Amino acid sequence: MIAWAESIADRLEALRERIAAAADRAGRPAHGVEVVAVTKGHPGEALSAVAAAGLTCVGENRVGEAEAKEERLGHLGLCWHMIGHLQRNKVERALAVFDELESLDSERLAEKLQRELVAVGRDGFPVLVQVNTSGEASKGGFEASESAEAVRTIEAVRRVCELPALRVRGLMTMAPLTGDASVVRATFRRARELFERCGREVDGFEPEVLSMGMSNDFEIAVEEGSTRLRLGTALVGERP
Ligand SMILES: *Cc1c(COP(=O)(O)O)cnc(C)c1O
């Protein structure tokens, strides 16, 4: 675990240099970009190693896997982010483990969250609305690759922001898996534009977090305005 923490710290240092260079190219400060360590698929020790390396947020994409890790190791003083599709029948369990949901991908899920939060007397649960700005059907989230879809998505974000137990802190998106950097860049740019429009047009939307960028595309994401990277492979290592 110590060795793992050291290699995470080393990789983080190298990644931070690349993040800083990308931020510099875009004329923005590198401290405006936070890093979530994606520990999904790794054993629980990965979370301990992430904590020991000085990082504070982890991303998991399965409720059962996160529950098992937390049961064994505790919360480790980390902020646990759900980054995968959340089934409505697992909302109650997810709320017991996760501190933030980055992948709010439907209004029905938002409404279910609202009901469960009221039931347990919780309020201000942080969520990001997941948007699909790539046009790829395989990616989840509210469709927003075309301008008519973007308008509908903004209306959906508005309704989500009306749910009082949720605190909508921003948007999350994923780029398509492609070697074509211009397609990735266009996807991120559309997400950024949508983020800014939501900030201007939607009451209750807090434009704090634009979560985009993974191991393969984080530099483009930083250049296009990401405020949060979700880094698995490049930071924690190859998933077994
Ligand atoms: C797995 C995953 C990541 C991290 O992917 P890497 O390519 O390993 O960095 C980020 N975001 C989401 C939503 C994921 O599912």
- Tell me the CA–centroid distance for residue 211 and ligand 1, in Å: 11
Q: Is the pLDDT confidence value at 71 over 80?
A: yes
The answer to whether the CB of 236 is under 6 A from ligand 1 is no
The answer to whether the CB of 228 is under 6 A from ligand 1 is no
Can you give the pTM of this predicted structure?
A: 0.97
| Mean pLDDT on 205-229 | 98
| Mean pLDDT on 222-228 | 98
Q: Say how many C-beta atoms besides its own lie within 10 A of residue 62's C-beta.
A: 17
- Residue 103: per-residue pLDDT: 98
- The domains of the chain are located at 2-236
In CATH, the number for domain 2-236 is 3.20.20.10
| Mean pLDDT on 75-88 | 98
Q: In percent, how much of the chain has pLDDT > 70?
A: 100
Q: Is the pLDDT confidence value at 138 over 80?
A: no
- Report the half-sphere exposure of 162 (CA within 13 A, side-chain side): 7
- DSSP E strands: which ranges in the chain? 34-38, 57-60, 79-82, 100-104, 125-132, 142-143, 166-173, 209-211, 228-231
The residue whose CA has the least distance to atom 14 of ligand 1 is 83
- Tell me the CA–centroid distance for residue 38 and ligand 1, in Å: 6
pLDDT digits (tens, 9 = 90+) for 18-58: 999 999 999 999 999 999 999 999 999 999 999 999 999 99
